Chains A and B, each alone.
Chain A
Amino acid sequence: MKPSWMLRLCAAVGFAILLLPGVLVLIVSFSAGEFLTFPPPGLSFRWYAALLSNAQLMTALGTSAILAAIVATVSLLLGAPAAYAIARLEFRGRGVLAAMLAAPLLLPTLVLGLGLLLVLQPLGLAATWPGLVLGHCLVAIPFAVRIMTTAFAAVPKELEAAAWTLGATPFRAAVRITLPNAAPGAIAAAVLTFLVSFDETVISLFLVGPRLSTLPVEMFRYAERTADPLIAALAMTLIAFALLMVVLVERLIGFTRAIGRD
C-alpha cells in the first residue's frame, strides 16, 4: 500500500522534531563565537581544535573507549553462552533465566547506580576499573543476550544435528557450526554493547572518581561549568562516531537483521 500524503506529512514532522536539535548542535559546533548561541556569529573549526587540546576530556575519551571495548568483550563472552542456553537447551527455569537477564533493562539506571555504589564501596571497588566494568556490564549484557539469542535461534538446529552425526561433540558443534553462523549477531552485539557502555552516564556518575572518569560524565560536568560551543563540537563527534558504527554494521550485515527484527 502506498502511504497517504497525511501519513507522509506526519512522518516528516516527526523526523523534523527528532532531528532538528541535532541540526542546531551541528551548526553551533562550527561557531566562531565564545558562547552557545544561535545563530552563531560566524563559522570556524576553533572548537574542534579546542576539543583536541582539552587534556581532561581527551583522557576521559581514552578511558571510555577502553572501558567500552572491555565491556563489549566481557558482555559477549558471558552473554553468548547464556544466549545459547536460552535459544538451544531445554532446562528448568529457562524462562526465569531469560527474564532475570532482561531485568536490568527495566530498572531505572539511577536505582542501579545507587545500588552498585552501596555494594561496591565497601568492597573498595568504587572509582576503579573493575567497578566500572561491572556496572556497565550489568546494563550491556542484557543487550548482548537478547541479540545473541535471536542470532542463535536463527541458525537451523539441523546444522548442529548434522555436525553431531559427523562426530562432533555438542560443544564442538556449537563452536564450529552454530557460532560462525551467528557471527552477524555477535558483531551487532559487540557494537551495541560498546555504544551502551560508551554512552552510559547515570551509572558512571556513581562509580567514577577524581582520577578515573568517563567521557559522558566529564561532558556533563563541563556543560555544568561552561557554556561554550566546545560541548557542541564534542557532541557532534560522538554522533558521527555512533553513526559510523551503525553504518558499518548495516554494511556488514544489515542492522535490522542484526538486532533481530524483520
Chain B
Amino acid sequence: MKAATSMPAHPHLRLDRLKRHYAGAPAPAVASISLDLPRGALLALLGPSGCGKTTTLRMIAGLEIPDDGKILVGGRDVSRLPPHKRQMGVVFQSYALFPHMTAAGNAAFGLEMQGVARADRARRAQAALEMVGLGALAERKPRQLSGGQQQRVALARALAIEPQLLLLDEPLSALDAKLREGVRDEIRALQQRLGTTTVFVTHDQTEALAMADLVAVMNGGRIEQLAAPEEIFERPATRFVATFVGRAARLSGQLEPGGVLRCGGQALRSTATLPPGPAEAYLRPHRVRLLEAGAAPPPGHDNLLEARLTRRIYTGETIALETETAAGPVTAELQAGQDGPWRDLPTGAPLRLAFRAADLAVFPAP
C-alpha cells in the first residue's frame, strides 16, 4: 500500500488495522485496513463488489463490529461504541427513509433522539431540507417523492444531526444516469461548503475520481492504493489499480536493468526501478500519441511502436483506435474533434505510436 503524502498529525478519522471476518466465510471481508483522513476531506472507498468497502463503512458507522483494530474519530476510540452513540450521518444505498414519516419528520428524527426541543428541531429539519433544495416538499411522505428527491431527504436527514462523519453507501447507484452527475456534484459542493468529513463507498471510478480528495482503491479486503485521484489514475501503485481504474493496454515482457522492457522484440524504455525479471507494463490510451507512418516522434517521447489499425470505436466524446503492434494490442484515444487526420483510415493502415518512458506503469508479472 502506498501512503498518502502530507497527512496532519491529528487526522479526523483514523482506521487502524481494521479487520472483519464473517463467520463461515472463507476469507475475511476486511483483512486489514489502516488509513488517516484529515478533517473536512472526502474519501472514496473504490473497489469491485466484495472488496470490503461496504463492510468498512458499516464498521465506521457501528453497524458492524470489527474483529480487530481501532476506529478513532477526532482522536477518540469509537470502535466499541454502539451506532446510536457515534453521531454519524449515514446515507444508505436504499436510502432507508422512514415510510410513515414526512420528509420533515425524517429530517427531524435524529434531532428528536438527541433531545432537541420540538420548535428548534422543526426549524433545523426545515433548514436541512432547504439545504438540499427540498424545502417546499417537507410535508410529503417518501412514497410521494421521486428517487432523486428521496436521496436528498436521506442526505438532509444525515446532515441534520451535524454528524462527526458523513457516510455514504453507493448513494447514486439507484439514480438514473442522467440524474447521477448532477446529484454527484451537488453532494460534493454541499460537503465542501459544510466541511463535513465524508467517507463515500462506490464501485464507479468516475464518481470516485470526480468527488474525492482521497481515493482508497480496495481489493480483497485490503487497500491497494490510497492517494489523490490524479495520483491513482496517472500513477497506479499496483497492477490491480492499473487495471481496475481506467483502461490500459497490457504489454508483457522481460524487464532488463535500466528499466528497459523487452517486449515482442521491441525495447521499451520505462522509469521502472524493479529488479530485472518477467514484468507487465500498463499504458493508458490517452497517453498514446498517434503519428503517421514514418513520422518522427515529438520530443520527450522515447518509445516508438509501429502499428496497424484493427478497429475504430466512436463513442461521441472520445474516439478509440485499436491497433496491433509487435509488443501486443495497444489502444490510442482521441478527443472528439481531434480525430480529423485519422477519420478515414482503413483497417490495416500503418501507424506509429509514441509515448514517454513515464507513461508505462511497470509491475512484476504475476
Contacts and interface: CB of A to CB of B under 8 A. Distances in A.
Interface of A: 156, 158-159, 161-170, 172-173, 176-177, 180-181
Contacts of B62: 164-165
Contacts of B158: 165
A180 B106 CA distance: 14
Contact of A167 (B84, B94, B100): B84
A165 B84 contact: yes
Interface stretch (B108-116, B184-192, B269-277): B108-116
Interface of B: 61-63, 82-90, 92, 94, 96-100, 109-110, 113-114, 157-158, 161
Given A164-B62, A165-B63, A156 B84 contact: no
Contact of A164 (B63, B98, B100): B63
Contacts of B94: 156, 158
A60 to B, nearest CB: 40
Contact of B90 (A162, A168, A169, A176): A162
A159 B101 CA distance: 12
Nearest to A159: B96
5 contacts: A156-B94, A162-B90, A165-B158, A167-B113, A181-B99
A173 B109 CA distance: 10
B96 A162 contact: yes
Contacts of A168: 84, 109, 113
A168 B85 CA distance: 9
Contacts of A163: 98, 109, 113
Contacts of B90: 161-162, 165
Given A166-B161, A169-B84, A159 B98 contact: yes
Nearest to A176: B109
Most buried by A among B85, B98, B157: B98
A176 to B, nearest CB: 8
A172 B100 contact: no
Contacts of A162: 90, 92, 96-98, 157
Nearest to A164: B83
A163 to B, nearest CB: 7
Given A161-B96, A162-B98, A168-B109, 8 more contacts: A158-B94, A165-B62, A165-B63, A165-B90, A165-B158, A166-B157, A167-B87, A181-B99
**Nearest 4 A/B pairs, CB to CB:** A166-B110, A167-B113, A162-B96, A164-B83
A168 B63 CA distance: 13
Given A162-B92, A166-B110, A181 B83 contact: no
A164 B84 contact: yes
Contact of A158 (B86, B87, B92, B113): B92
A176 B101 CA distance: 10
B165 to A, nearest CB: 10
Contacts of A170: 82, 84
Given A156-B94, A166-B157, A168-B84, A161 B63 contact: yes
A113 B157 CA distance: 54
A181 B98 CA distance: 9
Contacts of B100: 180-181
A19 to B, nearest CB: 38
